């Protein structure tokens, strides 16, 4: 099997119900829907956290956030500008593995795994970087005047402060296409991490005018256009047949401002299904069966071992990796599904729920102990609590929770876990930018108060 080029598209806060193939009738996503028609879409794919930084650290390393110290950031849910913590340089990322296999690697878009020099993408396996180091609501904005100017980076250097956010997706596509052209004769890994649909929504006029779902729908349709542009370039370069394209999201939608996680319950920041179950589509012509649908429980942590297998690389053996090689699930015509895979739902440092097979047990929600059991096969919306009727299932899942607590910990019970690795730290952190009233910012202050 020839080693594939890899394009990984990761959206920001895109919900389970935001795409046509996943049930949306209001957002127009023809290019994403076409990718699903030409590949395989997954119905039970999970990110490792319902918020940005932990989910992205887990995606890169194949590990639960708590295992790599990414469960809490000096008491905050995600990383903020100038913090002295980030992804430990000793961690091994997808990009590290591919780079060691001779792949040219580039991240375009949002990083959010630390903004200090030691934590930037170029120190985690990426040859080049172009994008925002954290969320687009972490610049100078109405209601957030205390933030430093939003930095746009090229590799390790700030190239612009307070960029016009409505132009960023087009600029991301331009940088992506330049990378594809420059590396068409080499195996490559392009990680495109969109700004959309995180608040605030700044979208090009074209998409704002055609959207039937306000600025949110315009942001979704801008993401769709970007995929179409990149696929057209792959076609023009003759690279489509040997390129594995993966499309997903870092966590669920907020469920407001036009976003949808239907038919799931809850949204971003929660351990209901809507917080962590997200779209996942994979296409690789002649390798992944076209127009297929799969209900295997998979997670973002599976990507590291799966992509390693796709390129003939080994997974690091000197550390625990939580993800599993799921290449056969991507590629087989009729894959053998594992209906006993277990997945743990953390909110920050607290272990709140576990899924095994179709059963999901909740034990904690929003500072309250709960006793709730759902069969997701029959009740995807988590509406019918069957705890009392299934004591044996409850006992089995409680044992799984205790196993997880002993392994990587749980702040609720005070168990630190035996197998956690430290977050990266620097002694004298600083912000990448400082506000200068004399600087010629193109957008001195973003005018929308939306954040999240």
* Residues that are catalytic: 52, 112
Q: How far apart are CA 229 and CA 221, in angstroms?
A: 12
Burial of 412 (0-12, 13-18, 19+ CB in 10 A): middle
Report the 10 Å Cβ neighbour count for 21.
Answer: 16
**If DSSP codes are grouped into helix, strand and coil, which group holds residue 368?**
strand
Cα dist from 278 to 101, 134, 303, 327, 413, whole Å: 29, 21, 14, 19, 29
Tokens encoding 349: 């440092």
DSSP string for 239-277? -GGGEEEEEEESS---S-TT---TTSS--TTSSSHHHHB
Tokens encoding 412: 């609720």
Residue 404 contacts by C-beta under 8 Å, 6 or more apart in sequence?
344, 351, 354, 410
Q: How far apart are CA 141 and CA 161, in angstroms?
A: 13
**Backbone φ, ψ for residue 269 (5° rounding):** 85, -5
Q: How far apart are CA 137 and CA 139, in angstroms?
A: 6
Of 112, 122, 260, 280, give the one whose Cα is nearest residue 194.
Answer: 112
Q: Are strands 359-365 and 350-356 parallel, antiparallel or unpaired?
A: antiparallel
Tokens encoding 35: 């990718």
Residue 219 contacts by C-beta under 8 Å, 6 or more apart in sequence?
196, 197, 201, 203, 207
Of 265, 110, 114, give the one whose Cα is nearest residue 191.
Answer: 110
Q: How far apart are CA 111 and CA 56, in angstroms?
A: 8
**If DSSP codes are grouped into helix, strand and coil, which group holds residue 209?**
helix
Q: How far apart are CA 102 and CA 326, in angstroms?
A: 22
* Residues belonging to the chain: 452
Tokens encoding 184: 């068409």
């Amino acid at each position: 099997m020839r080693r594939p080029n890899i394009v990984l598209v990761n959206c920001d806060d895109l919900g389970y119900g935001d795409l046509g193939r996943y049930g949306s009738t209001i957002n127009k996503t023809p290019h994403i829907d076409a990718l699903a028609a030409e590949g395989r879409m997954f119905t039970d794919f999970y990110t490792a956290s319902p918020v940005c930084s932990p989910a992205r650290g887990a995606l890169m390393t194949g590990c639960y956030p708590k295992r790599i110290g990414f469960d809490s950031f000096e008491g905050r849910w995600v990383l903020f500008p100038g913090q002295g913590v980030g992804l430990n340089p000793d961690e091994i990322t997808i990009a590290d593995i591919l780079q060691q296999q001779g792949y040219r690697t580039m991240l375009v878009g949002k990083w959010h795994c630390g903004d200090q020099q030691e934590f930037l993408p170029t120190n985690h396996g990426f040859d080049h970087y172009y994008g925002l180091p954290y969320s687009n609501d972490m610049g100078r904005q109405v209601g957030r005047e205390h933030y430093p100017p939003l930095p746009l980076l090229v590799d390790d250097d700030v190239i612009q402060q307070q960029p016009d956010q409505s132009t960023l997706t087009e600029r991301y596509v331009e940088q992506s296409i330049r990378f594809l052209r420059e590396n068409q004769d080499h195996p490559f890994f392009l990680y495109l991490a969109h700004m959309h649909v995180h608040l605030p929504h700044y979208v090009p006029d074209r998409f704002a005018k055609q959207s039937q779902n306000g600025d949110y729908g315009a942001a979704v349709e801008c993401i769709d256009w970007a995929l179409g542009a990149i696929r057209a370039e792959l076609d023009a370069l003759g690279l489509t047949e040997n390129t594995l394209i993966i499309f997903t999201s870092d966590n669920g939608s907020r469920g407001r401002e036009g976003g949808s996680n239907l038919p799931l319950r809850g949204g971003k920041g929660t351990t209901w299904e809507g917080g962590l179950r997200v779209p996942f589509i994979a296409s690789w012509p002649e390798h992944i069966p076209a127009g297929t649908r799969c209900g295997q429980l998979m997670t973002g942590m599976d990507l590291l071992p799966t992509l390693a297998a796709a390129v003939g690389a080994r997974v690091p053996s000197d550390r625990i990796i939580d993800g599993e090689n799921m290449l056969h699930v991507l590629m087989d015509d009729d894959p053998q599904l594992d209906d006993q895979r277990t997945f743990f739902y953390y909110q920050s440092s607290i272990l709140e729920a576990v899924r095994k097979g179709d059963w999901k047990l909740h034990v904690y929600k929003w500072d309250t102990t709960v006793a709730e059991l759902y069969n997701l096969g029959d009740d995807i919306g988590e509406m019918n609590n069957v705890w009392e009727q299934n004591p044996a299932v409850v006992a089995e899942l409680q044992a799984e929770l205790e196993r997880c607590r002993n392994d990587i910990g749980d702040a609720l019970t005070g168990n630190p876990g035996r197998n956690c690795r430290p977050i990266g730290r620097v002694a004298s952190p600083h912000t990448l930018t400082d506000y200068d009233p004399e600087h010629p910012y193109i957008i001195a202050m973003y005018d929308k108060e939306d954040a999240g």
